Amino acid sequence: MEGNWFLTDTVSREISEGLALKLNLNIEAKELIDASGISHAIDIAFPVLHGTDGEDGSVQGLLKVLNIPCVGSDVLGSAISMNKLVSKQLLKHAGIPVGNFIGIYKDRHYDVNKIITDLGIPLVVKPSSLGSSVGVGIAKRADQVESMIQDAFQYDYSIILEEYIQGREIECAIIGNENPQASLPGEIVVSEKYEFYSYDAKYVDPFAARLDIPAKMKPEIQKKIQQTCLEAYRTLNCCDYARVDLFLTKKGEIFINEINTIPGFTNSSMFPKMWEHMGIPYSEIITKLIELAMGRQKKGNELNRIYNSNLE
Per-residue confidence at 193, pLDDT binned at 50, 70, 90? low
Judge whether 172 lies within some domain: yes
Judge whether 310 lies within some domain: no
Q: Are residues 143 and 52 in the same domain?
A: no
177-181 LR contacts (CB < 8 Å, sep 24+): 177/239, 177/240, 177/292, 177/295, 177/296, 180/230, 180/233, 180/234
Q: How many degrees, rounded to 5, is the angle at CA 298 between CA 292 and CA 300? A: 100
Q: Are residues 112 and 226 in the same domain?
A: no
Q: Are residues 172 and 275 in the same domain?
A: yes
Per-residue confidence at 195, pLDDT binned at 50, 70, 90? low
Interatomic CA distance for residues 148 and 143, integer angstroms: 10
Q: Are residues 137 and 261 in the same domain?
A: no
Residues making up the chain, counted from first to last: 312
Q: Are residues 153 and 274 in the same domain?
A: no
Paired with 260 in beta bridges are 243
Domain that holds residue 107: 100-163
Task: Return left, alpha or beta for 302; rule: phi > 0 is left, psi -120 to 50 is alpha, else beta.
Answer: alpha
CA nearest to 230, candidates 217, 218, 244, 212: 244
DSSP state of 16: G
What number of CA atoms fall less than 13 Å from residue 218's CA on the CB side? Answer: 8
pLDDT for the residue 15: 85
Last residue of one domain, picked from the residues 52, 72, 92: 72
% pLDDT > 90, the chain: 71
Q: Are residues 195 and 253 in the same domain?
A: yes
pLDDT in tens, 123-178: 999 999 876 577 799 999 999 999 999 999 999 999 999 999 999 999 999 999 99
Q: Please give the average per-residue pLDDT across 237-253, as a whole number.
A: 97
pLDDT in tens, 263-279: 988 777 899 999 999 99
With 0-12 CB in 10 A as exposed, 13-18 as middle and 19+ as buried, what is 49? Answer: middle
pTM: 0.90
| Total of domains in the chain | 3
Q: Are residues 150 and 196 in the same domain?
A: no
% pLDDT > 70, the chain: 93
Per-residue confidence at 190, pLDDT binned at 50, 70, 90? confident
CATH number at residue 232: 3.30.470.20
**What dihedral do alpha carbons 138, 140, 144, 149 form, nearest 10°?**
30
Determine which helix (DSSP H) or strand (DSSP E) holds 257, and give its type and residue range.
strand 254-260
Per-residue confidence at 28, pLDDT binned at 50, 70, 90? confident
pLDDT for the residue 124: 96
pLDDT for the residue 191: 72
Question: Within 10 Å of residue 107's Cβ, how many Cβ atoms?
Answer: 6
Q: Please give the average per-residue pLDDT across 191-211, as a whole number.
A: 64
**What dihedral do alpha carbons 162, 90, 173, 15 form, nearest 10°?**
-80
pLDDT in tens, 216-229: 999 999 999 999 99
Interatomic CA distance for residues 228 and 245, integer angstroms: 11
Mean pLDDT of the chain: 90
CATH number at residue 27: 3.40.50.20
pLDDT for the residue 189: 87
pLDDT for the residue 50: 81
Q: Are residues 242 and 120 in the same domain?
A: no
pLDDT for the residue 197: 64
**What dihedral do alpha carbons 233, 83, 6, 266 form, nearest 10°?**
-50
Interatomic CA distance for residues 243 and 270, integer angstroms: 9
pLDDT for the residue 312: 63
pLDDT for the residue 256: 98
Paired with 181 in beta bridges are 175
Q: Are residues 114 and 154 in the same domain?
A: yes
pLDDT for the residue 103: 97
Judge whether 39 lies within some domain: yes
Interatomic CA distance for residues 294 and 217, integer angstroms: 36
Statement: residue 201 has pLDDT above 60 = no
pLDDT in tens, 54-113: 889 999 999 999 999 999 999 999 999 999 999 999 999 999 999 999 999 999 999 999
CA nearest to 277, candidates 183, 174, 210: 183
